[in-house]
Homo-oligomer: A and B are copies of this chain.
Amino acid sequence: MRDKKLRNFHEAKWDEPIIFELSTKGQRGILLPEVEKDLEKEFGELENLIPENLKRKKKPELPELAQPQVLRHFLRLSQETLGQDINIDIGLGTCTMKYSPKINEQFVRNPKFSELHPLQDEETTQGILKIIYEFEEIMKEISGMDSFSFQPGGGGQAIYSNAAIIKKYHEDQGEGEKRNEIITTLLSHPLNAAAPHTKGFKVINLMPNETGYPSIEDLKEVVSEKTAGIFITNPEDTGIYNPIVKEFVDIVHEAGGLCVYDMADYNGLFGIARAKEANIDLCHFNLHKAFSSPHGSMGPACGAQGVTKELEKYLPVPRVDYDGEKYYLNYDKPNSIGKLRKFYGVIAVVLRAYAYVHTLGEKGLKEVAEISVLNSNYLIKRMLKEVKGISAPWGNKDEYRTEQVRFSWEKLYKDTGVNTDDIDRRGTDYGLQGYFQSHHPMIIPEPFTPEPNETYSKDEIDEYVEIFKKISEEAYENPELVKTAPHNAPISYLNQPIIDDPKDLIVTWRVYKKKKGIK
């Protein structure tokens, strides 16, 4: 209607004190019931109930505020946060910041779910057990794997769990000592290196070549009888699909290793390609990404871990089983790796994902894949065509990327001295959440990894492109403006210190006060 390409934005800025600064001695945010008179009579003073040496000598120095002020404080902080709901959250590539349907929040907030204790008699939890059971069926179909656990509390824990299964598997084969190497690719998410390492493996990182993925030769070079397995993210963060993944799998299998797919970034592949067809042994999905659970300021989350029939017995306990009459939690799995988490897992995320799949169905999920890849390529096309100083290294220029892409601002940086950090901060002046650059090590210079998933409209993607067109222009015309950004955020530029010395660390208000000599 009105022809406006860029919005005149300012994020809410409340200049809000730290909660401790708002404290007034004596104020109460909430009261508890008084102790029932009979109980007081029965036991006398509270002191009688605590061993002398365990009495808290000094009450915790928590702030004291009345209820409206606590609420107001955190509401203001919420306004100073750009969640997916409120911004065009395309920048956080590899995170699939998609719309989390509000109806699903009603489900998880229903007391019929929120007030369930995990140890309740199964008679009273048939509804939720059935949902878990049926969702496992759904995930099996989507991935082609034979069995799933939803116990991992995030993608990282699922990768870890996969590493644990690999370890156990080789131990059962009598090769526990020998097979102590895990291969992964440098562009795979860092957790594909870190989690196996935490599980005790030596990790080998394969470098990509100009195709965006490593060559078969590179792989062959590192595969050996020490190889326990390989962890591959496909597509990798660059949005380049590794078409020779099957060859990778064959090579590792031949060497006696197991193959793991990191399908956290599955959003562009629903109904298109699965783990099964690549002959994968273990995989995981991030239900808080492709399956739409909100990211919750960094969790709670769920990593759905899928394995083949052969490996099923290793999955964490409990599993949800069905005896023909009722659903129950089965702890009787002697080969299981055990437990990663108390009870079952973050079932709230499973519940949302279950609702999500049910409302989309097969066609809808395929539409998710198609539109997310279409959106991504549309964005790439416009960016490369219209934004000065940006490029998309690697890959075959004739081919489409999947649902995300890793750009580089290398040229812009060389031309103007404005780097990806500066651009990132400047984005906030136009209403964007800080973007994801790249995992470490940053082998693509001045990286920027957007992922315009299917829940953004063409208009929004267009606005997004316009913003970076504008910032690029600014970088060429007025680099200082970009370098000193943000100007419309809740706080201004901090001179970007990097705190790397433990002595400079201030993660508690009490430390700040100590450092400042404040009582």
Residues of A within 8 A of B (CB): 1-2, 4, 7-18, 20-22, 24, 27, 65-69, 71-72, 75-76, 79, 85-87, 99, 101-102, 431, 455-460, 488, 518
Q: What is the minimal beta-carbon distance from A367 to any residue of chain B, in angstroms?
A: 12
- Known contacts A1-B18, A431-B14; is A72 also within 8 Å of B86 by CB? yes
Which of B7, B68, B431 sits near A455, CB closer than 8 Å? B68
Which of B1, B65, B67, B431 sits near A17, CB closer than 8 Å? B1
5 nearest A-B residue pairs (beta carbon)? A68-B99, A12-B12, A7-B15, A1-B21, A10-B13
Measured in the bound complex, the distance between the Cα atoms of B454 and A66 in whole Å is 11
Q: A75 and B86: CB pair below 8 A?
A: yes
Cβ contacts under 8 Å, A14 to chain B? 7, 9, 431
Which of B13, B66, B72, B86 sits near A85, CB closer than 8 Å? B72
- Taken together, the copies of this chain in the complex come to 2
Interface centre among A4, A21, A72 (most CB of B within 10 A): A72
Cβ contacts under 8 Å, A101 to chain B? 67
Cβ contacts under 8 Å, A16 to chain B? 7
Q: What is the minimal beta-carbon distance from A483 to any residue of chain B, in angstroms?
A: 21
Which of B17, B18, B79, B102 sits near A79, CB closer than 8 Å? B79
Residue of B nearest to A513 (CB): B1
Q: B99 and A67: CB pair below 8 A?
A: yes
Q: B27 and A2: CB pair below 8 A?
A: no
Cβ contacts under 8 Å, A7 to chain B? 14-16
Q: What is the minimal beta-carbon distance from A409 to any residue of chain B, in angstroms?
A: 26
Task: Provide 10 A-B residue pairs closer than 8 Å at the C-beta atoms, listed in order of the A residue.
Answer: A1-B21, A1-B518, A4-B15, A7-B14, A10-B488, A12-B79, A27-B457, A67-B99, A69-B457, A69-B460
- Known contacts A1-B20, A71-B102, A457-B24; is A15 also within 8 Å of B8 by CB? yes
- Known contacts A72-B85, A86-B76, A99-B68; is A9 also within 8 Å of B13 by CB? yes
Measured in the bound complex, the distance between the Cα atoms of B66 and A244 in whole Å is 38
Residue of B nearest to A23 (CB): B1
Measured in the bound complex, the distance between the Cα atoms of B455 and A168 in whole Å is 60
15 further A-B pairs in the complex, CB-CB below 8 A; given A68-B455, A79-B86:
A1-B17, A1-B18, A9-B13, A9-B15, A10-B10, A10-B12, A10-B13, A13-B488, A24-B459, A66-B455, A66-B457, A67-B99, A68-B85, A69-B457, A71-B102
Cβ contacts under 8 Å, A76 to chain B? 86
Cβ contacts under 8 Å, A75 to chain B? 85-86
- Known contacts A10-B10, A75-B86, A457-B69; is A4 also within 8 Å of B27 by CB? no
Measured in the bound complex, the distance between the Cα atoms of B311 and A347 in whole Å is 58
Cβ contacts under 8 Å, A13 to chain B? 8-10, 488
Measured in the bound complex, the distance between the Cα atoms of B368 and A66 in whole Å is 14
Q: What is the minimal beta-carbon distance from A132 to any residue of chain B, in angstroms?
A: 25
Measured in the bound complex, the distance between the Cα atoms of B76 and A24 in whole Å is 33
Residue of B nearest to A101 (CB): B67
Q: What is the minimal beta-carbon distance from A105 to any residue of chain B, in angstroms?
A: 11
Residue of B nearest to A27 (CB): B457
Cβ contacts under 8 Å, A458 to chain B? 24
Cβ contacts under 8 Å, A102 to chain B? 71
Q: What is the minimal beta-carbon distance from A12 to any residue of chain B, in angstroms?
A: 4
Residue of B nearest to A111 (CB): B110
Measured in the bound complex, the distance between the Cα atoms of B15 and A4 in whole Å is 10
Measured in the bound complex, the distance between the Cα atoms of B68 and A284 in whole Å is 27
Cβ contacts under 8 Å, A69 to chain B? 457, 460
Q: A2 and B21: CB pair below 8 A?
A: yes
Cβ contacts under 8 Å, A459 to chain B? 22, 24
Which of B11, B66, B68 sits near A12, CB closer than 8 Å? B11
Q: What is the minimal beta-carbon distance from A375 to any residue of chain B, in angstroms?
A: 13
Cβ contacts under 8 Å, A24 to chain B? 457-459
Cβ contacts under 8 Å, A85 to chain B? 68, 71-72, 75
Measured in the bound complex, the distance between the Cα atoms of B14 and A7 in whole Å is 7
Measured in the bound complex, the distance between the Cα atoms of B80 and A86 in whole Å is 12
Measured in the bound complex, the distance between the Cα atoms of B85 and A85 in whole Å is 20
Residue of B nearest to A518 (CB): B1
Measured in the bound complex, the distance between the Cα atoms of B70 and A455 in whole Å is 12
Q: What is the minimal beta-carbon distance from A24 to any residue of chain B, in angstroms?
A: 7
Cβ contacts under 8 Å, A68 to chain B? 85, 99, 455-456
Measured in the bound complex, the distance between the Cα atoms of B197 and A11 in whole Å is 47
Residue of B nearest to A100 (CB): B68
Residue of B nearest to A12 (CB): B12
Q: What is the minimal beta-carbon distance from A347 to any residue of chain B, in angstroms?
A: 22
Cβ contacts under 8 Å, A11 to chain B? 10, 12
Interface centre among A9, A10, A18, A21 (most CB of B within 10 A): A10
Residue of B nearest to A18 (CB): B1
